[in-house]
A and B are shown apart, each in its own frame.
Chain A
Amino acid sequence: MTLTLITFLPLIAALITLLIPKEQKQTIRLVSLLAAVGQVILAVVIWQNYNPSLAGVDDVSKFQFVERAAWFSVELGGYTVSADYLMGIDGLSVTMVILTAIVALVGVGASWTIEKSVKSYFVLYNLMSMSMMGCFLALDFFLFYIFWEVTLIPMYFLIGIWGGKNREYAAIKFFIYTLVGSVLMLLAIIALYASVIDPETGRNTFSMVAMANQQNFISGSALAPSEGNLLRALAFFALFLAFVIKVPMVPFHTWLPDAHVEAPTPISVVLAGVLLKLGGYGLLRINFPIFPEVFQQFAWWIALFGVISIVYGAFCAIAQTDFKKMVAYSSVSHMGFVLLGIAAVNSLGMSGAMLQMFSHGLLSPMMFLLVGVIYERAHTREMDKFGGLAKHMPVYAGFIMLAFMGNLGMPALSGFVAEAFVFLGAFAVEQTRLLSVIGTLGILLSAAYLLRAYKAMFTGERKPNAAYEVEGHHGEEHAHFHDWKGKVDLDGREIALLAPLAAIVIIIGVYPAPVLDLIMPSLNRVAEILSAAANVAMK
Chain B
Amino acid sequence: MNVIFISVFLPLVGFFLSSLFSLTKFIGHHESGKEKLVGVLSTLMIAIPFGIFATLFASFNGEAQIATLYDWFAAGAMSIKVSYQLDSLSLFMAMIVTGVGSLIHLYSIGYMHGDEGFARFFAYLNLFIFAMLNLILADNMVLMFLGWEGVGLCSYLLIGFWYDRKFDGIGIATTTDAANKAFIMNRIGDFAMLAAMFLIFQKISALDYNSILSQKEAFDSTHIFWITLLIFIGCTGKSAQIPLYTWLPDAMAGPTPVSALIHAATMVTSGIYLTARLSPLFIMSPDTMNLIAVVGIATAFIAATIGLTQNDIKKVLAYSTVSQLGYMFLALGIGAFGSAIFHVTTHAFFKACLFLGSGSVIHALHEEQDIRKMGGLAKVMPQTHATFLVASLALAGFPLTAGFFSKDDVLAKTFESGNYLLWGVGLVTAFITAFYTMRLYTLTFLGEARYNTDKHPHESPALMTAPLWILGALSLVGGAIGLPAVIQEQNWIQSFLSSSVASVQAHHLEHSNEWILLGISSIVAILGLAASFSIYSKKTVHVEPEGVTTVLYRKYYIDELYDAAVVKPFQFLASRLLAPIDNRIIDGLVNGIGSSMVGLGGALKRWQTGVAQNYALVITIGLILLVGYIALT
Q: Do these two chains interact? A: yes
Contact status A351-B176, CB under 8 Å: no
Q: Give min CB distance, B566 to chain A, whole Å.
A: 12
Stretch at the interface among B195-203, B425-433, B455-463, B529-537: B195-203
Bound state CA distance, A510 and B70, in angstroms?
10
User: What is the total of A-B residue contacts with beta carbons within 8 Å?
Assistant: 129
Contact status A427-B201, CB under 8 Å: yes
Bound state CA distance, A510 and B198, in angstroms?
21
Contact status A513-B73, CB under 8 Å: yes
Ranked nearest first, the 9 interchain pairs of A and B with the lowest CB-CB distance are A319-B579, A459-B163, A411-B146, A318-B574, A427-B198, A319-B575, A459-B176, A347-B76, A315-B578
Stretch at the interface among B508-516, B554-562, B582-590: B582-590
Q: Mark A407-442, 1 if CB is under 8 A from B, else 0.
A: 000111000110011011001100001001100110
Which residues of chain A are near B570, meaning CB under 8 Å? 318, 448
Which residues of chain A are near B179, meaning CB under 8 Å? 451
Q: Mark B133-172, 1 if CB is under 8 A from A, else 0.
A: 0000000001001100110010010001001100000000
Contact status A444-B163, CB under 8 Å: no
The chain B residue with its CB closest to the CB of A351 is: B75
Residue in contact with B574 in the complex, picked from A315, A410, A441, A458, CB distance below 8 Å: A315
Q: Give min CB distance, A193 to chain B, whole Å.
A: 30
Residue in contact with B190 in the complex, picked from A177, A437, A443, A520, CB distance below 8 Å: A443
* Max count, chain A CB within 10 A of own CB: residue among B71, B177, B197, B582: B582
The chain A residue with its CB closest to the CB of B195 is: A437
B15 beta carbon closer than 8 Å to chain A:
no
Which residues of chain A are near B191, meaning CB under 8 Å? 440-441, 443-444
A312 beta carbon closer than 8 Å to chain B:
yes
Contact status B153-A405, CB under 8 Å: yes
- Complex A-B: 10 CB contacts under 8 Å: A173-B594, A254-B587, A316-B574, A348-B75, A394-B22, A440-B191, A451-B184, A460-B174, A513-B71, A516-B73
Bound state CA distance, A383 and B160, in angstroms?
19
Q: Give min CB distance, A505 to chain B, whole Å.
A: 15
Bound state CA distance, A385 and B115, in angstroms?
27
A38 beta carbon closer than 8 Å to chain B:
no
B492 beta carbon closer than 8 Å to chain A:
no
Give me the interface of B with A, judged by CB distance under 8 Å. 22-23, 70-78, 142, 145-146, 149-150, 153, 156, 160, 163-164, 174-177, 179-180, 183-184, 187-188, 190-191, 194-195, 197-199, 201-202, 570-571, 573-575, 578-579, 582, 586-587, 590, 594
Q: Give min CB distance, A257 to chain B, whole Å.
A: 8
Which residues of chain A are near B582, meaning CB under 8 Å? 254, 312, 316
A452 beta carbon closer than 8 Å to chain B:
yes
Contact status B201-A459, CB under 8 Å: no
Q: Give min CB distance, A490 to chain B, whole Å.
A: 12
Q: Give min CB distance, B163 to chain A, whole Å.
A: 4
Contact status A511-B72, CB under 8 Å: yes
Interface of B is mostly: helix
Contact status B160-A459, CB under 8 Å: yes
Bound state CA distance, A312 and B160, in angstroms?
29
Which residues of chain B are near A348, meaning CB under 8 Å? 75-78
A238-267 interface with B by 8 A CB criterion: 251, 254-255
Q: Mark A300-322, 1 if CB is under 8 A from B, else 0.
A: 00000000000010011011100
Bound state CA distance, A73 and B574, in angstroms?
55
Contact status A424-B198, CB under 8 Å: yes
The chain B residue with its CB closest to the CB of A251 is: B586
Contact status B163-A460, CB under 8 Å: yes
A23-48 interface with B by 8 A CB criterion: none
Residue in contact with A451 in the complex, picked from B74, B150, B180, B201, CB distance below 8 Å: B180
Which residues of chain A are near B202, meaning CB under 8 Å? 427-428, 433
The chain B residue with its CB closest to the CB of A516 is: B75
A467 beta carbon closer than 8 Å to chain B:
no
A178 beta carbon closer than 8 Å to chain B:
no
Given the known interface contacts A315-B573, A395-B23, the answer about A516 and B74 at a Cβ–Cβ threshold of 8 Å is yes
Bound state CA distance, A435 and B571, in angstroms?
23
Residue in contact with B180 in the complex, picked from A254, A320, A436, A452, CB distance below 8 Å: A452
Q: Give min CB distance, B67 to chain A, whole Å.
A: 17
Given the known interface contacts A448-B184, A520-B75, the answer about A440 and B586 at a Cβ–Cβ threshold of 8 Å is no
Given the known interface contacts A440-B195, A513-B71, the answer about A412 and B150 at a Cβ–Cβ threshold of 8 Å is yes
Which residues of chain B are near A455, meaning CB under 8 Å? 174, 176-177, 180
Bound state CA distance, A388 and B176, in angstroms?
11
* Max count, chain B CB within 10 A of own CB: residue among A410, A412, A417: A412
Q: Give min CB distance, B434 to chain A, whole Å.
A: 39
A346 beta carbon closer than 8 Å to chain B:
yes
Which residues of chain B are near A251, meaning CB under 8 Å? 586
* Max count, chain A CB within 10 A of own CB: residue among B146, B177, B194: B194
Q: Give min CB distance, A70 to chain B, whole Å.
A: 39
Contact status A388-B164, CB under 8 Å: yes
Bound state CA distance, A351 and B76, in angstroms?
9
Bound state CA distance, A309 and B586, in angstroms?
13
Give me the interface of A with B, judged by CB distance under 8 Å. 173, 176-177, 251, 254-255, 312, 315-316, 318-320, 346-348, 351, 388, 390-391, 394-395, 405, 410-412, 416-417, 420-421, 423-424, 427-428, 433, 436-437, 440-441, 443-444, 447-448, 451-452, 455, 458-461, 510-513, 516, 520
Other A-B pairs beyond A315-B578, A440-B195, 16, CB < 8 Å: A254-B586, A312-B582, A348-B76, A348-B78, A388-B164, A410-B149, A411-B142, A424-B78, A428-B202, A440-B191, A443-B190, A447-B183, A447-B184, A451-B180, A511-B72, A513-B74
Contact status B146-A443, CB under 8 Å: no
Which residues of chain B are near A394, meaning CB under 8 Å? 22-23
Bound state CA distance, A125 and B551, in angstroms?
65
Bound state CA distance, A319 and B577, in angstroms?
10
Given the known interface contacts A417-B73, A447-B184, A460-B174, the answer about A319 and B586 at a Cβ–Cβ threshold of 8 Å is no
Which residues of chain B are near A351, meaning CB under 8 Å? 75-76
Which residues of chain A are near B194, meaning CB under 8 Å? 423, 440, 443
Which residues of chain B are near A316, meaning CB under 8 Å? 574, 578-579, 582
Q: Give min CB distance, B629 to chain A, whole Å.
A: 28
Contact status A347-B177, CB under 8 Å: no
Which residues of chain A are near B574, meaning CB under 8 Å? 315-316, 318-319
Q: Give min CB distance, A406 to chain B, whole Å.
A: 12
Q: Give min CB distance, B223 to chain A, whole Å.
A: 13
Contact status A319-B76, CB under 8 Å: no
Which residues of chain B are near A424, meaning CB under 8 Å? 78, 197-198, 201
Bound state CA distance, A531 and B574, in angstroms?
38
Contact status A410-B153, CB under 8 Å: yes
Q: Give min CB distance, B26 to chain A, whole Å.
A: 15
Q: Give min CB distance, B525 to chain A, whole Å.
A: 42
Contact status A460-B75, CB under 8 Å: no
Bound state CA distance, A390 and B162, in angstroms?
11
Q: Give min CB distance, B157 to chain A, whole Å.
A: 8
Bound state CA distance, A240 and B219, in angstroms?
40
Which residues of chain B are near A254, meaning CB under 8 Å? 582, 586-587, 590
Contact status B146-A412, CB under 8 Å: yes
Which residues of chain A are near B77, meaning CB under 8 Å? 348
Which residues of chain A are near B150, meaning CB under 8 Å? 410-412
Q: Give min CB distance, B5 to chain A, whole Å.
A: 14
Which residues of chain B are near A319, meaning CB under 8 Å? 574-575, 578-579
The chain B residue with its CB closest to the CB of A420 is: B142
Given the known interface contacts A348-B76, A443-B190, A444-B188, the answer about A459 and B174 at a Cβ–Cβ threshold of 8 Å is yes
Bound state CA distance, A312 and B183, in angstroms?
21
Bound state CA distance, A343 and B451, in angstroms?
66
Which residues of chain A are near B160, meaning CB under 8 Å? 459
The chain A residue with its CB closest to the CB of B177 is: A455
The chain A residue with its CB closest to the CB of B70 is: A511
Contact status B164-A460, CB under 8 Å: yes
Which residues of chain B are near A451, meaning CB under 8 Å? 156, 179-180, 183-184
Which residues of chain B are near A428, meaning CB under 8 Å? 198, 201-202
Which residues of chain A are near B180, meaning CB under 8 Å? 451-452, 455
Bound state CA distance, A416 and B199, in angstroms?
18
Residue in contact with A423 in the complex, picked from B70, B174, B198, CB distance below 8 Å: B198
